[in-house]
Amino acid sequence: MTVRVCVLGPSGRMGRAVIDTAASRAEIRLVAAVDRPDAPGLGAPVGATAGLVASADLAAGLDACDVYIDFTAPGATRAAAEAAAVRGRAAVIGTTGLLAADEAALEALARTAPIVVAANFSLGVNLLRGLARTAARALGPDWDAEVVEVHHRAKRDAPSGTALAIAREIAAGHGADYERVKRHGRDGDVGARPRGEIGVSAVRGGDVIGEHTAYFFGPAERIEIGHRASSRHIFAAGALRAAAWVVGKPPGRYDMLAVLGLE
Ligand code: NAD
């Protein structure tokens, strides 16, 4: 089956990666590319798909597709979700740094359509999430758990959505409430590290696509479980796989672990 896909943000780093990767996928047909009204390249051809032109007409893009792929910005993701909810349109959402109101728009969309939401669409990172939970469960809170992420200098949100997802898996492995044990960054006299705290630190610089490491520090030994992305195409490939998977599913919010069969 071929699924018709609308890509949001075709001028962005991830939008371009999705469009490039889609060209080699027989099960994907790009039918629309929607950007913000002042984006570069509006009205110009997009990728290698004949007749595909970047437009600012979100309604037309959503009407033309079976599923849309969104790697944009929180406000744009919220607006698209509201427009998609009216149409019951399936969605693949990769935007990170979402606020409560944006999340609420996704929950509303998930009541009318199947959607896949992931802070990271790579197979390796989703496997890392599972490994981090297993390690935390086996080692317990006496081993100090920390997550460190590194990203390119243009990334706006910190810590990364992926780092938060890994940290939440560690909390689940400890049987702890993440909101009570989290420590995002440290500055000043923070005192001794409490037992069970889960630290998350963000490093920014250069053109790093994404690195995540979960550390477990025990007495006189430590474990590091890491993932390094060297191309945005791993996220694009995962998002396209999610798009082909999600069309036809019952309404609801799905995780990338379900798409990859890792649940
Ligand atoms: P970018 O700044 O390069 O691109 C953002 C794109 O969104 C641009 O094309 C911009 O014009 C477009 N946009 C902004 N407002 C819009 C609107 N109202 N309508 C349509 N398009 C709009 O950013 P990027 O590096 O491509 O990252 C985009 C998002 O994806 C970020 O939140 C990033 O953290 C996230 N991301 C997620 C994953 C993942 O696997 N989930 C991987 C990489 C990046």
Question: Which residue's C-alpha comes closest to atom 20 of ligand 1?
Answer: 35
The per-residue pLDDT for range 171-229, each reduced to its tens digit, is: 999 999 999 999 999 999 999 999 999 999 999 999 999 999 999 999 999 999 999 99
Q: How far is CA 229 from CA 109, 124, 137, 253, in A?
A: 30, 9, 26, 26
Q: How far does the centroid of ligand 1 lie from the alpha carbon of residue 118, in Å?
A: 13
Average pLDDT over residues 44-66: 94
Q: Are 15 and 7 in contact (CB under 8 A)?
A: yes
Q: How far does the centroid of ligand 1 lie from the alpha carbon of residue 76, in Å?
A: 9
The token pair that represents 176 in the structure block: 């702890």
> pTM above 0.85?
yes
Q: What is the DSSP string of 115-162?
A: EEE-S---HHHHHHHHHHHHHHHHH-TTSEEEEEEEE-TT--SSS-HH
Which of 14, 125, 233 has most ligand 1 atoms within 8 Å of its beta carbon, as the pocket-test mutant?
14
pLDDT of residue 65: 98
The per-residue pLDDT for range 106-152, each reduced to its tens digit, is: 999 999 999 999 999 999 999 999 999 999 999 999 999 999 999 99
Asked if 155 is an active-site residue, the reply is yes
The per-residue pLDDT for range 247-257, each reduced to its tens digit, is: 999 999 999 98
Dihedral sign for Cα atoms in the order 121, 124, 125, 126: positive
Q: How far does the centroid of ligand 1 lie from the alpha carbon of residue 51, in Å?
A: 23
pLDDT of residue 262: 76
User: Which residues surround ligand 1 with Cβ inside 6 Å?
Assistant: 8-9, 11-15, 34-36, 39, 71-73, 76, 94-97, 118-121, 235
Omega of the bond prior to 159 within 30 degrees of 0, cis?
A: yes
In 3D space, the residue among 191, 150, 154, 147 whose CA is nearest the CA of residue 173 turns out to be: 147
Bridge pairing between strands 3-8 and 114-117? unpaired
Average pLDDT over residues 235-251: 97
In 3D space, the residue among 228, 226, 224, 163 whose CA is nearest the CA of residue 198 turns out to be: 163
Q: How far does the centroid of ligand 1 lie from the alpha carbon of residue 53, in Å?
A: 18
